[in-house]
Chain A
Amino acid sequence: MTTAITRDDVAHLARLARIAMTDDELDHLAQQLDVILGAVARVQEVAAADIPPTSHSLDLSNVYRPDELVPSLGAEAALDAAPAAEDGRFRVPRILDEEA
C-alpha cells in the first residue's frame, strides 16, 4: 500500500506536529516524502499476519523503583533556562483565544 502524499497532506501533518512551514518547505517535503514512503513501504512485502510486533528489544515491563524521597532539581535551576519566567514560574504566551 502506497498512497501519493499531497502538499495538503503535508500541511495537515505539519499542523499536527506544530511546525509552521513555509509554502516552499511544504512543496519540497511533499516530493521527498513520496520517495521515502515508496521506499519504506517495502516493509509491507514481508511481515505476515501471525508475526507479533516488537516495540522494544528488552523483555521488560513495569520496572519499579523504591518509592523514596530524593532531592530534585529545585525551582531555581529548573527555571534557569526558561525563555521567560515570572514569580518563580514559567511565563508562556496566552493559551486561549481572546473570545474564549
Chain B
Amino acid sequence: MNPLLTATATELAAKIAAREVSAVEVAQAHLDRIAEVDEKVHAFLHVDTEGALAQARRVDSGEFTGPLAGVPLALKDVIVTKGVPTTAGSRILEGWVPPYDATIVERMRAAGIVVLGKTNMDEFAMGSSTEHSAYGPSRNPWDLTRTPGGSGGGSSAAVASYQAPIGIGTDTGGSIRQPAAVTGTVGAKPTYGGVSRYGLIAFSSSLDQAGPCARTVLDAALLHEIIGGHDPRDSTSIDAVVPPVVAAARQADVTGMRVGVVTQFKGDGYQPGVLARFDEAVAMLEKLGATVEEVSCPHFDYALPAYYLIAPSEASSNLARYDAMRYGLRVGDDGERSAEEVMAATRDAGFGAEVKRRIILGTYALSAGYYDAYYGQAQKVRTLIGRDFASAFERVDVLVSPTTPTTAFTLGERVDDPMAMYLADLCTIPSNLYGGPALSLPCGLSDDGLPVGLQIMAPVQADERMYRVAAAVEAALGSDKLLARAPQL
C-alpha cells in the first residue's frame, strides 16, 4: 500500500511541512484510495474532491501551518458544512446544503486540515451499527459481513481502511468509542462542553459531543486540541482552556497513577476474548507502574435504561424542527392538505424506523402522567451515576473497562431487535450521563480475530489523563500496529 496512506497524521503533517510531499499529493492519494475501496466499505456518503484539493492547494501555498496542516480527514455527516451536502444519514435532509459551517469545521479549515468528505452514520446518530442510515450500512474493514459499529461507523471504517488518517465523530452514548473499538482504531469523547456543538445536528443536546477518530493516540490528541475550546456560539461550551491532551499523549507514562477497574462491566454477556484482552491490558498497566484496584459503581447498571429515556426525550423535542416548512423534505403538498397534514406525511416518509421509535418513546416518557415515572426517574439516576463517578475519582485517577461487551456483530443480526442493539453501548453510556471524557483504543484481537477496545474514563475536564494512560498502553501493547493485521480490501 502507498506509504502516504499508512502514515500517521503526525507523520504526514511533518512530511508536508518539510516539503517532502505536497498536501495535494496526500489528498489525491486518499481520494484514489476512496475510489478504490469505498465501494466495499461504504464509509462515505459524499466525497468533496474539489473542496479537498482546493484546501490542499492552500496548504501548499503556505497559507496554513500547524501540527495537522495538510492532513486529510473524514467528517461525520452530522456536522454541517457550508456548500457541502449534509444529511445526518436521514432521508428528511437528502440534498440539503447548509448555509453555514460548524465551529469545528471553521477551526479545522483554519488549521489546514483537508476534509475529504462526509461519512455514513445511523440516522441522526441513533444506532450502533450504521444500519439505521437511510443510505445503506457501512461495513467493517476487518470483515465486510460485519458492522463497523455506530453511529459513527463511517468515520471509523474510513480511518480503519486507510481512506483517511483521522476523522470526526460525535458521541451521545458511545458513537465515537464503540465504532473505534470494533474497527481497531482510537476514538475519544471529550468532556461535555469541551468541543463546540454549534453546527452539530442535535440528537440529545445534554449528551452530544464531537471528538476525534484516529489510528494513534497522539493523532487523536492533536485533533482534539484543534477542535476544542470555548465557543461563544454554544452556550454549553466550557469557558476554559483545552486540557493539555497533546502533552499527555507525548508523556505516555502511568508511573504512580491509580487505575480503577469497574466491577460492573464484566461477567455474563461479555465475550471471553474481550475479557481476556481487557485483563491483559490491565496487567500491563500494573507492569508499567500504575496501581490497579477494583471500583464498584453500582448505578452504572441503570445507565442504559436511564439513557434510553433521556436521549429519546431530548430527541423528540430536537427533531420537532423537521417540519417540512423551512428546509429539508416536503411531501404531500398538493394544495389541499393542511400544513399539519403535510408535516405528518413528511415526517412519516422522511424518518426511518429507529428515529420514529425514539421520537415516540420520548414523547411517551415526557407525557403528562408518565413524566415522573420515566423521564424524572431517569434524571435522578443520572445524579446517582454522577455520584458514582465522583466517589470513584476520590480513590483513582481513571476508570477502565472493555469499550464494548462483544466484538463487531454481523449485519442484520440486531437491526430488528432494538434492545439487543442498545446493549452495544452498555459500557460507554455512563460517561455521557456524567459528562466526563472517555477514550477507546485497541488492546488486541479476540478469539474471533476481531479487535477489542479498552475504554479509559477520566473526570470532567481531566481529558489529559485518558490520553496519558492510552498512550502508555499503546506503546506497551503496540496497539497502533494492530490494523496492519486486518485483511487487505
Binding site for B on A (CB under 8 A): 1, 5, 9-10, 13-22, 25, 29, 32-33, 35-37, 39-48, 51-58, 60, 63, 65, 73, 77-78, 80-84, 90, 92-97
Contacts of A21 in B (CB 8 A): 348, 356
Contacting residues, chain B, for A42 (C-beta < 8 A): 302, 305
Q: Which of A17, A73, A83 contacts B363 (CB 8 A)?
A: A17
Give Cα A32–Cα B418 distance, bound, in whole angstroms.
Answer: 8
B203 contacts chain A at the CB level, 8 A cutoff: no
Instruction: Contact check, A65 vs B232: say whether CB atoms are below 8 A apart.
Output: yes
Q: Which of A45, A63, A84, A92 contacts B235 (CB 8 A)?
A: A63
Residues of B101-123 at the interface with A, using a CB-CB cut-off of 8 Å, are: none
> With A36-B419, A54-B382 known to touch, is A19 a contact of B359 (CB < 8 Å)?
yes
Which of A15, A43, A65, A96 interacts with B306 by CB under 8 Å?
A43
Asked if A93 meets B347 with Cβ closer than 8 Å, knowing A37-B364, A73-B99, the reply is no
**Distance in angstroms between the alpha carbons of A37 and B378 in the assembled complex:** 12
Q: Are A41 and B305 in contact (CB under 8 A)?
A: yes
- The interface residues of chain B lying within 8 Å CB-to-CB of A84 are 330, 333
B435 proximity list for chain A (CB < 8 A): 57-58
Contact between chains at B386 and A57 (CB < 8 Å): yes
Task: Say which one of B156-164, B179-187, B321-329, B477-485 lies at the interface with A.
Answer: B321-329
Main secondary structure of the interface of B (DSSP, over half): helix
- Determine whether the beta carbon of A93 is less than 8 Å from that of B338: yes
Q: How long is the Cα–Cα vector from A46 to B337 in the complex, in angstroms?
A: 48
Whether the pair A29, B360 counts as a contact (CB closer than 8 A) is yes
Nearest first, the 10 A-B pairs at minimum CB distance are A57-B435, A53-B379, A47-B380, A83-B330, A20-B344, A81-B327, A40-B305, A63-B235, A54-B382, A77-B99
Query: What are 30 A-B residue pairs whose CB atoms fall within 8 Å in the complex?
Result: A5-B364, A14-B360, A15-B344, A16-B363, A18-B320, A18-B340, A19-B348, A32-B357, A39-B419, A40-B309, A43-B380, A47-B384, A51-B383, A53-B380, A53-B382, A53-B383, A55-B379, A56-B206, A57-B435, A57-B436, A58-B193, A63-B236, A78-B99, A81-B99, A81-B326, A90-B325, A90-B326, A92-B339, A93-B335, A96-B338
Contacts of A37 in B (CB 8 A): 361, 364, 374
Cα of A68 to Cα of B96 in the assembled complex, Å? 30
A80–B325 Cα distance when bound, in Å, is 12
State whether B361 touches A36 (Cβ < 8 A).
yes
B378-413 contacts to A, CB under 8 A, are: 378-384, 386
Tell whether B376 is near chain A: CB-to-CB under 8 Å: yes
Identify the closest chain B residue to A52 (Cβ).
B383
In the assembled complex, how far is the CB of residue A97 from the closest CB belonging to chain B, in whole angstroms? 7
Bound together, the chains give a CA A29 to CA B66 distance in angstroms of: 51
Contacts of B235 in A (CB 8 A): 60, 63, 65
- Tell me the chain B residues, 423-458 only, with Cβ under 8 Å from chain A: 433-436
Residues of B within 8 A of A92 (CB): 325, 339
Please give 11 more A-B residue pairs, beta carbons under 8 A apart, in addition to A40-B309, A51-B380, A57-B434. A16-B367, A20-B345, A21-B348, A32-B418, A33-B364, A53-B380, A57-B433, A63-B236, A81-B98, A83-B329, A94-B339
Chain B residues with CB under 8 A of A36: 308, 357, 361, 418-419
Q: In the complex, which residues of chain B have a beta carbon less than 8 angstroms from the beta carbon of A33?
A: 357, 360-361, 364
